[in-house]
Amino acid sequence: MGTEEQSTLVTQSCLYRPVAVLKGVVVMLKEAVEEWMGAVRKIDDYRWELPQNYKEGMNVPGLVFADEEMMRVIGRDQSLEQVANVATLPGIVGRSMAMPDIHWGYGFPIGGVAATRVNDGVVSPGGVGFDINCGVRLLRTELTEVEVRPKLQELVAALYTAVPSGVGVGGKLRLDAKEIDKVLLNGALWAVERGYGLHEDLELLESQGRLPGADPTKVGSKPRQRGAPQLGTLGAGNHFLEVQVVEDVYQPETAQAMGIHGYGQVLVMIHTGSRGLGHQVCEDYLKVMDGAIKRYGIHLPDRQLACAPVSSPEGQDYLAAMACGANFAWANRQCITHWVREAFTQVFQKSPHELGIRTVYDVAHNIAKIEEHVVPSPSSGQVSKRVKLCVHRKGATRAYPAGHPEIPAAYQGIGQPVLIPGDMGRYSFIAVGTEQAMAETFGSTCHGAGRMQSRAAAMRSLKGTDIRGRLEARGIAVQAGSYRGLLEEASEAYKDVAHVVDITEKAGISLKVVKVRPLGVIKG
DNA sequence: ATGTAC
């Protein structure tokens, strides 16, 4: 056998193997998608049921909000298996739900909603996520794109300096142990009392930026150590600060009620959470829950669903610590709001009042809350009654309708604003909650574009791409701490958020009000 | 998401 022939074989196999592997992956993906399409039952054009008999131990069916195209995207990862797993949780009511932006997560899918009975159900840290109260704050200004454009570079640079960002990066505040307890107890109120922001901001935040039931004694020293230097920082990953402009208005009167007048108005969107503090609270309580499942004899298809009865000491402790994490996140977005106002003041040489920088709303999309909902009573057939539930929203946004007592007076007539960030550089949406959401999803809707490609996959496929240059070519100013972060957050890695919000709108669980596009992006 | 693995 000649060496030439051998080397040809080697060369050929080196050339063809990656292609063959890629083909294999595509075939496997297609097969997986077809398997899911066979497992689910189409209810209507925007709803699919995952039957209760799909998997042993499911206490309720699954419900996916998607059209056929989105269903085929969802079927590529293991998130529908996770929807089935969540359905096995003790005390779950209604359906284990998946929003159109669903994708694979830790135990629970990201983009999922699960409500459990407070009296005999469980609470699970995995149903909230590592970034407790990851959420969105929207600010409006009275500035227009025409006024901002000439100073855009300067503004983005000022914002980047004013709001520290990046993995593990600390901020301007240094809190001692006593002060951090007050943050954990009082949330955004703490920030306003220290001069970061206005009292009028507070009534425009979900839960007024202060979740009741927070108990700092249930938060260990490690989360405090990590969190103390991080209050008032953006973080990294998909967290961002954007200067945006109104591109489209679908409901002018509803927009007007939010102080959004029309095309060209400049807004600011802040997307961040509880940083290292929330992350460590989640980690600490996952260990506690690991012990709890043994103690209470809870059987789970996936250990990552670790949980405890809501009424148990472990469950109550987690909820008290989670509320601390949520309050830290609200204080975080409140401090950032204050520094955004300062940066605008500095650049435009006008007071925040003259610039009209006001809070539109602030929502959580990673949280568990004790809420009352009307659910069919299993014992009495058709009869429905109000029941106290623990509503886990992980990558899902509360979407309460007009007239709900929990939403601000300013929005009683229009419904709760729902803030839906898109992927970096495309567009984002502002929507409102509906009665349909209240009836069907425990008052919940989608939370964003939803990742379609893993960070590693995005890195592989986009390596070398000039993401910043691409954005700048479209008139978007970018200030980012890391090139890698930009790659991982490239549009290609995400679903189209316009498709996501169209599905939730057609299903009736939230209605589009405004579409915005970015002028400037700040990232860690 | 995250002191990107104690």
Asked if residue A137 keeps its beta carbon closer than 7 A to nucleic acid strand B, the reply is: no
Which range has the worst mean pLDDT, A178-187, A218-227, A296-305, A377-386? A377-386
- Largest Cα separation within chain A, whole Å, is 85
**In this structure, is the CB of residue A275 within 7 Å of any atom belonging to strand B?**
yes
How many CB atoms neighbour CB A161 within 10 A?
13
Q: How far apart are CA A156 and CA A151, in angstroms?
A: 9
The separation, in Å, between residue A366 CA and nucleotide B1 C1' comes to 11
For residue A394, say whether its CB is under 7 Å from any atom of strand B.
no
The whole-angstrom separation of Cα A311 and Cα A296 is 12
Measure A84 CA to B3 C1' (Å). Answer: 34
> For A91-105, A169-183, A493-507, which range has the lowest pLDDT when averaged over its residues?
A169-183
Indicate the helix (H) or strand (E) that contains A27: helix A3-39
At residue A25 the predicted structure's pLDDT band, cuts being 50, 70 and 90, is confident
For the segment A387-394, the average pLDDT, to the nearest whole number, is: 98
| Residue A273 CA distance to nucleotide B1 C1' (Å) | 9
pLDDT at residue A143 is higher than 60: yes
Average pLDDT (A4-12) is 47
Whether the CB-CB separation of A55 and A84 falls below 8 Å is answered with yes
In the chain, the amino acid numbered A18 is P
In whole angstroms, B4 C1' to A167 CA is: 9
Assess whether A232 (CB) lies less than 7 A from strand B.
no
Q: Output A14 or A279, whichever has higher pLDDT.
A: A279
Q: Which of residues 466-495 of A touch strand B (CB under 7 A)?
A: 482, 489
- Sequence-ordered list of residues with C-beta below 8 angstroms from that of A405, at least 6 positions apart, any chain: none
- Strand B bases contacted by the protein (CB, 7 Å): 1-4
pTM: 0.95
Q: Is the CB of A279 under 7 A from strand B?
A: yes
The angle formed by the CA atoms of residues A133, A493 and A491, to the nearest 5 degrees, is 90
Which protein residue lies nearest to nucleotide B1, measured between its Cα and the C1' atom? Answer: A131
- Residue partners of A465: CB distance under 8 A and separation at least 6: A487, A490
Residues A276 and A226 sit within 8 Å (Cβ to Cβ) = yes
Tallying the residues shown for chain A, one arrives at: 524
Q: What is the pLDDT of residues A44-94, one digit of tens each?
A: 999 999 999 999 999 999 999 999 999 999 999 999 999 999 999 999 999
A131-136 average pLDDT score: 98
Quick: pLDDT tens for A486-512.
Answer: 999 999 999 999 999 999 999 999 999
A422 touches strand B (CB under 7 A): no
Let me know: does A153 contact A188? Beta carbons within 8 Å. Answer: no
- The angle formed by the CA atoms of residues A75, A81 and A87, to the nearest 5 degrees, is 130
Residue A380 burial by CB count (10 A; 0-12/13-18/19+): exposed, middle or buried?
A: exposed
Q: What does the pLDDT read at residue A33? A: 96
The answer to whether A280 CB is within 7 Å of strand B is yes
> Does the pLDDT of residue A259 top 80, yes or no?
yes
**Per-residue pLDDT averaged across A167-177, rounded?**
90
Token digits for A25?
């992956």
Lowest-confidence pick of A19-23, A197-201, A452-456, A513-517: A19-23
CA–C1' nearest nucleotide, residue A484:
B4
Give dist(CA A364, CA A445) in Å, integer.
12
A167: Cβ under 7 Å from strand B?
Answer: yes
Nucleotide nearest A227, from its CA to each C1': B3
Q: Tally Cβ neighbours within 10 Å of residue A500.
A: 28
Q: Which residues of A are catalytic?
A: 447
Residues in a beta bridge with A467: none
Nearest nucleotide to A277, CA against C1' atoms: B2
Please identify which residue in the block is written with the tokens 């799909």: A54
Three-state secondary-structure class, residue A373 = strand
Residue A355's pLDDT band (boundaries 50, 70, 90)? very high
Which nucleotide lies at the shortest CA–C1' distance from A283? B2
What is the nearest nucleotide to A239, using C1' and CA? Answer: B1
Beta bridge partners of A512: A431
Q: How far is Cα A423 from Cα A220, in angstroms, rounded to an integer? A: 34
Q: H or E segment at A86?
A: helix A79-86
Q: In whole angstroms, how far apart are CA A40 and each of A53, A95, A501?
A: 11, 14, 22
pLDDT for the residue numbered A14: 53
